[in-house]
Amino acid sequence: MLHETPKKKMSAKKKAAVIVGSIVGVLAVLCLVGYLIINGYLSKIHYASGTQSIASSIAPEKDGTGSDSPQSTIDAANSQIEENLKNNSTPLMYDQDVYNVLLIGSDTRAKGGTGRSDSMILLSINKKTQKIVETSLLRDIYVGIPGVSEGDRLNAAYAYGGADLLMKTVEQNFKIKVDKYAAVDFFSFMDIIDHVGGVTINISDAEVKVANDAIHEINRLKGLPANDGIYTKSGQQTVTGKQALGYARIRYVGNADWGRTDRQRTVLNQVFGKIKGMNVSQMNDLLNNLLPEVTTNIGKGELFSMILSVPTYSKYQIDSWSVPQPGSYSSARIRGMDVLNIDFDKSVQQMKTRIYG
């Protein structure tokens, strides 16, 4: 009669090893799947390749038909820029706990075209203070553009040489390290807003009129009826991407360009809020549709790390402001342009305090 050999019982130590091994295996698979999913998202982004060539000239941007400021005012503005740029031996402001990304919204009227930077927001993630600082740089600041112009509007740098030249212009004039950039145009802006389900704003009667003028222009460019998607009332309401663009471009209602940058940050923060409240399915749809609209020089590794840090960053306090501040600039008219002649020393110090704490 045959007898079965008794099976040896697995020791507790071996059981633990098998369980741990199984858990590690599952985690490894999950990590691999997570990596492949995120890498799939990142592959959709339009990464900048190389340095954009610098144009020898761009179409002049003039305001009205008024006379230029006295020559003494113009000379003083140019001298201040020259003196500020001479200080390039001064190290750029830098802190390993602060990551500066320049968010650029261009005013190009053609999908994928070039234009001036209608919106420039330096987004600073400060891990030390646990703040995200949004610094709007006003488009009309009179600056020196490296290798191009000894005096021009800040927004012209993007038209001359794209994001690379704009980053360099911001660094040399404001003495602050700009780590990376992310750029969208009018059409990308509208698509992003629509993909998050619109944003809620409170718009006045005066703002409705100006916003609708901007919407009429977009409709003309897209071959749509003039009144397609215009505002029909004022007050608080959820708006489409086209309406949000019209709102964000309002410049001559209220506090001029300061008011416009306030509106731009209002829309930006609404988008942030929408993203924070999304479930996995909604986030998947958003990333698949949003990322192809963005052009950036942030590497895949950095983006991967940033995506993983979103839950942490979403808890940071948001501090929103603009440069220049009251008392640190004067208005001037140079070569037909209405510009802001700023006090660089004061503005640089204010940025240092606000961003780095």
Q: Residue 237: beta bridge partners?
A: 201
**Which of the four pLDDT bands, split at 50, 70 and 90, describes residue 233?**
very high
Model confidence at 302: pLDDT above 80: yes
Select the more confidently predicted residue: 34 or 298.
Answer: 298
Which domains can be identified in the chain, with CATH numbers? 63-192+241-356 (3.40.630.190)
Number of Cβ within 10 Å of residue 13's Cβ equals: 8
pLDDT attached to residue 29: 47
The tokens of 332 are what?
């001037």
For residues 94-102, average pLDDT: 95
For the segment 245-255, what is each residue's pLDDT rounded down to a tens digit?
A: 999 999 888 88
Axis crossing angle, helix 156-174 with helix 344-356, rounded to the nearest 10? 80
Q: Say which residue, 14 or 173, is predicted with more confidence.
A: 173
Please state the rounded mean pLDDT for residues 17-27.
Answer: 54
Q: What is the pLDDT of residue 34?
A: 45
Cis peptide before 324 (omega within 30 of 0): yes
CA distances (Å), origin 347, targets 78, 92, 98, 129: 17, 14, 19, 21
Within a 13 Å sphere around the CA of 283, how many CA atoms are in the beta-carbon half?
14
- Classified as helix, coil or strand, 266 is helix
Mean pLDDT estimate for the chain:
85
> Tokens in use for 43?
């592959």
Rounded to 5 degrees, φ, ψ at 112 are 80, 5
The pTM of this model reads 0.84
Which range has the top average pLDDT, 190-199, 283-292, 305-314? Answer: 190-199
Q: Which residues contact 70 (CB under 8 A, 6 or more apart)?
A: none
The pLDDT value recorded for residue 123 is 96
